[in-house]
Amino acid sequence: MADCIFCKIAQKEITSALLYEDNGVVAFKDLEPQAPVHVLIIPKKHIASLLVACPEDRALIAHITCEVIPKLARELGVAEKGFRVVVNTGEEGGQSVKHLHFHLLGGRSMQWPPG
């Protein structure tokens, strides 16, 4: 999508050091880290949010959550102690970038409830 910053990162129109890439997914460090480990995992395909993900996106989302995130958590050293995965969705959900993304946060104790 033309004006989407995460599409530009996925398509390498904007340089961002990628921590992971495959045919459908890229992962990179968050620009404004909220924890010692803060990585964004995104589908290359433009999906505006979890709300509009469609049945054909299921396999991609399962791949991200069941394979890519656990792999990154292990590689980044947060799997054993624990980590948090966040998908902000919509205005009150705190979503600022309208391209589905999974925050992987770790390296410190997380609080509940979140802010």
The footprint of ligand DGP (CB under 6 A) covers 5, 16, 28-32, 40, 88, 94-97
Given 38, 46, 101, 103, which residue is catalytic?
Answer: 101
Q: How far is the CB of 3 from ligand DGP (least distance, A)?
A: 13
Number of Cα atoms under 13 Å in the Cβ half of residue 88: 14
* Phi, psi torsion values for 60, nearest 5 degrees: -65, -45
Nearest to ligand DGP of 17, 54 (CB atom): 17
* Cβ atoms of residues 87 and 50 within 8 Å: yes
Q: How far is the CB of 95 from ligand DGP (least distance, A)?
A: 4
Indicate if 38 belongs to the active site. Answer: no
Nearest to ligand DGP of 8, 63 (CB atom): 8
CA distances from 31 to 16, 20, 35, 38, 61 (A): 10, 16, 11, 9, 23
Nearest to ligand DGP of 82, 94 (CB atom): 94
Q: How far is the CB of 14 from ligand DGP (least distance, A)?
A: 7
Q: Which residues contact 79 (CB under 8 A, 6 or more apart)?
A: 70, 73
Known catalytic residues are: 101
